[in-house]
Structure 1
């Protein structure tokens, strides 16, 4: 199941709640303000690194660019809208708003 997270972890606990339901191998896609979680060297970097031990992690490039985020945590895959669509087509989706 693909998990999409669109809220900043600096403002809500949405990310932490969603992560409790993940199964190994479930991809996680950060979109909108959720991309703040994958910004390199922030207080959530260790959480993202731990997540990537068992799950692929993606971030939507246009949302990173819109927020001026140039560097992401090592191992996070940045995707455009085409990549977003491919992930949605490949997996059932669980959106955490």
Structure 2
């Protein structure tokens, strides 16, 4: 069973990302959106956690939420895919379940 995990909280305010990475099964997908997009930025404290998990999890970030926060795609950690709203819907449809980490 494939699961899409969604994280919408900043890794600098909550431990949602850490919990997600710890409990997500190998091969699962993680979508970072709303303030969760900060976890996708290179050069932050969260980068090492994300890079370690990239070998076993697929990471995506919602492009419009990056732009809404004044962030550009060139600041994203290598290996993270950028999706639009249609891509978000596609990810949800491709997976059996969606697990939100609050």
Alignment-derived partner of residue 96 in structure 1: 101
Residue from 67, 70, 78 that aligns with 1:68: 70
Measure the CA separation in 1 of the matches of 2:79 and 2:71.
15
Shift of 1:72: 0.5
Alignment-derived partner of residue 84 in structure 1: 88
- Deviating above 4 A after TM superposition, structure 1's stretches of 4 or more consecutive aligned residues are none
Ranges in structure 2 where 5+ consecutive residues have no aligned partner: none
User: Which stretch has the larger CA shift, 79-88 or 65-74?
Assistant: 65-74
The alignment's TM-score, normalised by the length of structure 1, stands at 0.96
Alignment-derived partner of residue 22 in structure 1: 24
- The DSSP-based 3-state class of the residue aligned with 1:15 is helix
Measure the CA separation in 2 of the matches of 1:36 and 1:62.
13
Q: How does 1:44-59 map to 2 (within 5 A)?
A: 44-59=46-61
* Aligned positions, number: 97
Q: CA RMSD in A?
A: 0.7
Ranges in structure 1 where 5+ consecutive residues have no aligned partner: none
1:11-68 Cα shifts (integer Å, max 9, x gaps): 0111111211111000000010000001121111111111111111000000011111
